[in-house]
Amino acid sequence: MLTKLHEKNKLQLFFGFIAGLCFGLFLHKGGVTKYDVIIGQLLLKDFTVLKVMMSAVITGMVGIYAMKALGWVKLHPKPGSIGSSLLGGLLFGVGFATLGYCPGTVAGALGNGYLDAAVGIAGMLIGAGLYAAFFPKIKQSILSKGDFGDVTIPRLLKVNEWFVIIPLGILLFVLLKWIESKGL
């Protein structure tokens, strides 16, 4: 692990910015900075969003688990619970369809010149502020419901990681082939 590099705080902020430049470029080239593409996905007419996401997941999953096996990287799985992941996920979905961008693509949309994205960002800042205000009230009651922590699927199934990675990679690949065969 490049621990010394990770500790250089100012350099890391610069790396974050460079990673953002690349991410913004890929989001634009992928077409997902556009409302029409995102709403087309949610209306199940245009599967560009899932194509971008699934090919990123297959590539990222294989590379990151390979680097983990070499001891080059460590994982950072986020914790989850039914109250948080399911309810929060559904609320997010409503916002995703209503705004027509998500938190990353909304920044890309702004870079593309789409000004409704700027209003969306203002809304997101309000929403995040509301969440910060409500957080102490829902923390114990809702968010802790059905808590399963930061478990990963291989740990849950108690199997070697590659017994999940390889079948899942193939499954996502077959799903993409099927989407292509339907002309979506």
Restricted to residues 31-70, the positions that interact with other proteins (CB under 8 A) are 31-36, 39-40, 42-44, 48, 51-61, 63-64, 67
Instruction: Identify any residues that bridge with 149 across adjacent strands, giving them in sequence order.
Output: 80
CB 47 within 8 A of CB 41: yes
Instruction: Identify any residues that bridge with 81 across adjacent strands, giving them in sequence order.
Output: 147
- Residue 144's contacts (CB-CB under 8 Å, 6 or more residues apart) are 81, 83
**174 scored as a contact of other proteins (CB under 8 A):** no
* Residue selected from 98, 163, 166, 170 as contacting other proteins according to rule CB under 8 A: 98
* Residue selected from 69, 135, 159, 170 as contacting other proteins according to rule CB under 8 A: 135
- Identity of the amino acid at 145: K
Q: How far apart are CA 4 and CA 158, in angstroms?
A: 33
Task: Report in angstroms how near the CB of residue 144 gets to other proteins at its nearest.
Answer: 13
Which residues from 99-128 bind other proteins, rule CB under 8 A? 99-117, 119-128
Which residues from 149-168 bind other proteins, rule CB under 8 A? 150-154, 156, 161, 164-165, 168
- Residue 39's contacts (CB-CB under 8 Å, 6 or more residues apart) are 97, 100
**173 scored as a contact of other proteins (CB under 8 A):** no
